[in-house]
Structure 1
């Protein structure tokens, strides 16, 4: 391992995995002997660009179009979609930097966008919290439903995200990687807790042991899907990064890092697709109700 290229004592547990000496080897040259995961990661990023951008734009359009009939969580979904659209713009620069160049200025741009994506689980946590209060504490939810605290919370999350992204660009803060590790562990645990409690509450609310109201059954299935996606997208970094010392620097850099963040970044496509599926189901149900009314 070239000492000029890597300071092996500093492993960044975020999108920025290692300290580089700019102008030396590119990431692809560093992983020339094990390029499979890196190529897979870049393919996922371009899928994010070609599918994630239009999907998130449609989500933004639908939320704007249906703002008179929106759910309380839509404000967080809107901000998450904006963040994902911005993040999905970076694959061309990322490809150039990983394969062809190793320039400090272009890396700093990428670090900023990586920083925004690193903390995107905060918006998911807000969505989970909103649904948790709605299902488990409906009286409190009704009292808070029409207040502006969600907009204030969303702005607060943006302040945290932008501050983290700016600090990530600086790249000179001691033990900065621990901020991401602590956030992803806490957010993952919180989201899983909220969704499990919601599932349990919906399951217990049926009139009989094996019965459930159709509306609650649909809500149950949707939350179950959301829980599965949270585990799929965010469990790899939660499971792997705390054990980075057990991997060699090359294996962690070329395999573990890009597997974990490839799956996490793919949430930029999966999340809007889930929202659009839910909206399609809602519209289908509305059409069915309208047709039934006309027949009667």
Structure 2
């Protein structure tokens, strides 16, 4: 005969007597397991991003404001850039293929603010994050096209002979295709979302791209700053190019220096500070490049010249029609 001893009560194996102490212990253990599982799920599902950052909401509000400025300013500006490049195919620069790809990329990214607002403030589902992460991955790698533009201008200024030899070849289209493959591969990997230490890939990309762009622009500025033989002042054309490159360098530093300066020190921030403050501060400034870059391109007198020619043609047509009517009336 087998006997069990539970809480000091001796019982038969065929007639197990559950004492109140043992039943209470079973109920407590099962309740604790249920609560622990439920609390983990509820923390992931029932709390939005905005609610989890309720202690520091100012940066998120500022970030969403910049995103909607991107949508209302960036979409028409980038579409205008695409229209000008298509219209001026015969008089296009060698960098226009990279500018065109960057404008297409920025147009798609500027469509995300409504979904991002709803997802951050209202939704608790993780499904929208897959869509947003894909677009975030596209924007994370957009500086690669900007680096191609810097490389093209660097070759034109510092290596003009090599640049002339490569001017009519299709290497730019091949390079743009290669960049798109990298962009889409990175976006797909970021959309998947469960790759260990994947955030370090972005840190490496942004650091390397930022250093390359700064190097190219600084080299161009140094070359343009050198006056010609027998001249004390810079040529007006060089002076204009110098100012434009200087503006581009300032914009690159403004948009891309915050993630470069902040992200490598991620381990030194608390989890909440990085998630609610550093993350949205750095990416807000970086994403704002979707509006600044096309506006800078349009400011190079291309838009003004096109509109002036358009208005001039309309005025000449009106004048011709009025003259014809006057002559026929006499």
The TM-score, its normalising length taken from structure 1, stands at: 0.87
**Kept in 1: contact 2:227–2:233 (CA 8 A):** no
2:159 aligned with 1:144, yes or no? no
Which residue does the alignment assign to 2:257? 235
Which residue does the alignment assign to 2:290? 268
Structure-2 separation of matches of 1:208 and 1:50: 50
Q: 1:205 to 1:21 in 2, by over 3 A?
A: farther
Structure-2 separation of matches of 1:136 and 1:61: 30
Gaps of 5+ in 1: 8-19, 288-296
Structure-1 separation of matches of 2:70 and 2:220: 30
Gaps of 5+ in 2: 1-35, 310-330
2:209 aligned with 1:191, yes or no? no
**Kept in 1: contact 2:99–2:145 (CA 8 A):** yes
Structure-2 separation of matches of 1:181 and 1:207: 44
Report the secondary structure of 2:197's partner residue. coil
2:256 aligned with 1:256, yes or no? no
| Alpha-carbon distance, 1:161 to partner | 0.2
Which residue does the alignment assign to 1:134? 156
**Kept in 1: contact 2:57–2:276 (CA 8 A):** yes
Deviations 1:79-137 (Å, cap 9, x if unpaired)?
00000000000000000000000222211000000000000000000000000000000
Which residue does the alignment assign to 1:226? 248
**Kept in 1: contact 2:48–2:124 (CA 8 A):** yes
2:181 aligned with 1:159, yes or no? yes
How many aligned residue pairs are there? 270
Alignment of 1:6-45 (within 5 A): 22-45=44-67
Deviations 1:249-281 (Å, cap 9, x if unpaired)?
111111111110000000000000000001348
Which residue does the alignment assign to 1:54? 76
When structure 1 is superposed on structure 2, of 228-237 and 95-104 the one drifting more is 95-104
Alignment of 1:279-290 (within 5 A): 279-280=301-302, 283=305
| Alpha-carbon distance, 1:24 to partner | 3.5
| Alpha-carbon distance, 1:59 to partner | 0.2
Structure-2 separation of matches of 1:65 and 1:21: 53
CA RMSD in angstroms, aligned pairs only: 2.1
Among candidates 85, 98, 103, match of residue 125 of structure 2? 103
2:228 aligned with 1:206, yes or no? yes
| Alpha-carbon distance, 1:157 to partner | 0.4
Structure-1 separation of matches of 2:228 and 2:271: 52
Which residue does the alignment assign to 1:114? 136
Bigger Rg, structure 1 or 2: 2
**Kept in 1: contact 2:48–2:120 (CA 8 A):** yes
| Alpha-carbon distance, 1:234 to partner | 0.1
Structure-2 separation of matches of 1:277 and 1:177: 35
Question: After the TM superposition, which segments of 4 or more aligned residues of structure 1 sit over 2 Å from their partners?
Answer: 205-210, 279-284
